[in-house]
Structure 1
Amino acid sequence: MAIWNDPQPSQTSFGASSRMNAGYASGAALDAGLRKYMLSIYNYMASGVLLSGIVALGFVESGLAEQVFRTPLRWLIVLAPLAFVFGMSAGLNRMKTSTLQACFWGFAVAMGLSLSSLLLVYTGPSIAMTFFATAGSFAGLSLVGYTTKKSLSGMGSFLTMGLFGLIIAMLINAFFPMPGMGFAISLLGVAIFAGLTAYDTQQLKNTYMHVAGTSMQERVAIMGALNLYLDFINLFQFLLSFLGDRRN
């Protein structure tokens, strides 16, 4: 028998509906915040790459790059980006957001000066072709990291160990060159940074839950852009060793 005069069923239905609507609104707000957060990371990263490219091209066109890379100053240019990376990583919790932003742009300029050496070694068309190939690969790999439901944390540990092995192999090859070693290093480098692109993207997505709405959100976005920038540039350089045409 229906209890038409009993208000309880309608109240329960309304309460459940309200909770569902509130949950939907909360989820929609979270998704919107996540998209905004990831977009800010990609904007920082893309702007940094663009700035580095402009600086590299200007440095070469001015004629200074060819002169400087013949002097010991080349080591300052090569090592300067590392100083920015270590400084930003160590000062993440202490620096103001504006200071971290300035360091990121300084890093992009330093990387541009360092990358100018590639313009002296490889032809412009082959660099452009490799850049677009890298951009397409990076976009696909980052999309995989963003959309996959599978945790890539285990792969991250493996890739980190592989990265250390890659650095050691590069140092050994620099002092004791061996036939075929350079090819193997480039192949390994492409594989490692392809994996790191997907892994770092997923980590940045997961990190949003912990920093959303806090004072750390913008700073984490900047550091995330730095990580993706490094993935992109390293992937580009290793691909260039395969696709690039050297100048005569």
Structure 2
Amino acid sequence: MENNKPDYVYDNVIQINEADTTRKFLANVFLWMFVALGLSAAFAYIFANDHSLFNMLIDQNTGRNTGLGTIVMFAPLAFVLIISFGFNRLSYGVLALLYIAFSVIMGISLSYLLWLFTASSVLGVFLTTSVLFGVMAIAGYTTRQDLTKFGSILIMFLIGIIIASFVNYFLHSTGLDMIISYIGVAVFVGLTAYDVQKLKRIGQGLEYGDASASKMALMGGLTLYLDFINLFIFLLRIFGRRK
């Protein structure tokens, strides 16, 4: 009689190791995400509550951005582009420093929201975002449905949101702004599940501990951070109460 027990045990060992590798990779991804959120929250709070610092961003006489304020508004995008395009060329240490600098600058730019909206509404929306993000992250991790095509559609919608937001920057239409916000919430809710599933698959194909895995974990943290922040901003635009 043929004995299949050794093969059975061997297969299980491989599956356990792959599952452990994936969990470690995703743990690193979420660690980077939480580091960025913590830094951003801290600097947003500091600048929003220190008038001398906030006055460096907005001219109190005109109510418009200062030169530094304008730089702070557009610098996060520059950092994201540098990290994305320099991913293969830059070392892990340099990418980590850029990531931390991006988190700080992003936090400073978010201080505008703390200045515009009441603290209670910001906190309420943040908690709502956390719950919604967590639910969709779990859904993306556990679902067996392939979200690749779904993700492609969401990215197309995201491009539409960016174009519509740019147009509305000149139109100043509150109606269009609300439409963009509702669509934005739907898009980033979906992207959260899609990105977590994508990162899970990346983790399954990486050998944990090498340089590429570390870089991918950092980039994954950046991706989920952007999903969370954009979801938070769109929800705040819908449900936030202005001062």
Q: Is the 8 A contact 1:66 1:120 kept in 2?
A: no
Unaligned stretches of 5+ residues in structure 2: 60-65
Q: Is the 8 A contact 1:77 1:113 kept in 2?
A: yes
1: CA distance, partners of 2:173 / 2:57:
29
Question: Which shows bigger deviation, 85-94 or 66-75?
Answer: 66-75
- The number of residues matched between the two structures is 235
* Displacement after TM superposition at 1:166 (Å): 0.4
**% same residue:** 36
Scaled by the length of structure 1, the TM-score of the pair is: 0.91
User: Who wins on radius of gyration, i.e. which is larger?
Assistant: 1
Amino acid at match of 2:223: N
* Displacement after TM superposition at 1:53 (Å): 0.4
Matching of residue 145 in structure 1 with residue 140 in structure 2: yes
Matched residue, 1:224? 220
Q: Of the candidates 159, 165, 183, which is equivalent to residue 160 of structure 2?
A: 165
Q: Is the 8 A contact 2:56 2:69 kept in 1?
A: no
* Displacement after TM superposition at 1:61 (Å): 2.0
Matched residue, 2:173? 178
Matched residue, 1:113? 108
SS in 1 for 2:211: coil
Scaled by the length of structure 2, the TM-score of the pair is: 0.93
Deviations 1:158-179 (A, max 9, x none): 1111011001111111101335
Matched residue, 1:21? 9
Deviations 1:149-197 (A, max 9, x none): 0000001111111011001111111101335111101101101111111
Q: Of the candidates 74, 77, 80, which is equivalent to residue 82 of structure 1?
A: 77
Matching of residue 55 in structure 1 with residue 50 in structure 2: no
Unaligned stretches of 5+ residues in structure 1: 1-8
Q: Of the candidates 57, 68, 77, which is equivalent to residue 68 of structure 1?
A: 57
2: CA distance, partners of 1:128 / 1:47:
19
2: CA distance, partners of 1:202 / 1:20:
28
Q: Is the 8 A contact 2:36 2:100 kept in 1?
A: yes
Matching of residue 93 in structure 1 with residue 88 in structure 2: yes
Instruction: Give the CA RMSD over aligned residues.
Output: 1.2
Amino acid at match of 1:229: Y
* Displacement after TM superposition at 1:67 (Å): 3.9
